[in-house]
Amino acid sequence: MPEPNYHSPLGAEFRRIKRNMKNTKAIRTAGFTLVEIMIVVAIIGLLAAIAIPNFVRARATSQANACINNLRQIDGAINEWALEQGKATGATAPTLTADLTPYIKLNANNKIPGCPAGGNYTTFAVGATPQVTCSLGNTVNPVHKQP
């Protein structure tokens, strides 16, 4: 087909169509297709499905470790309290708030640190095994008790 004369009305129409085709083609290549977007969303969902359980497990492990460290601190505080007060093995358990506060590093609220998972600490007689426990104990995984 011969090239139209650009000075004729048909040539002007040819230029306009050619210009529109270039613009249309540029617009089509500028975006993402629905399939590409769905693939990206599927990949992100797969990565999240793999990562989220690991984050939950890591959080539970860190809470258990913090609780065990608190139990060790309270156990040591009970032993120090018993030595300073001259208490013998089997003596009644000290209270966490009144008796042991001077022997434990307090948190920002000037209180004995609590179980990060929401458990409560209970003290037992001096020299008992264990002298302090967490109410969560074996009910969670990992367990909240001293090795």
Is the residue at 134 inside a domain? yes
Q: Report pLDDT for 66.
A: 94
Could you check whether the bond before residue 142 is cis, i.e. omega within 30 degrees of 0? yes
66-67-73-79 Cα dihedral, nearest 10 degrees: -160
Q: How many domains does the chain have?
A: 1
Is the residue at 90 inside a domain? yes
pLDDT digits (tens, 9 = 90+) for 79-108: 999 999 999 999 998 988 889 999 998 888
Is the residue at 144 inside a domain? no
Which domain does 45 fall in, by range?
9-139
Q: By C-alpha distance, which of 139, 128, 121, 108 is closest to 69?
A: 121
Cβ(115)–Cβ(70) below 8 Å: yes
pLDDT digits (tens, 9 = 90+) for 52-67: 999 999 999 999 999 9
CA separation for the pair 136, 144 (Å, rounded): 6
Query: What is the CB neighbour count within 10 angstroms for residue 140?
Result: 17
Cα of 69 vs its chain's centroid, Å: 19
Report whether pLDDT(4) > 60.
no
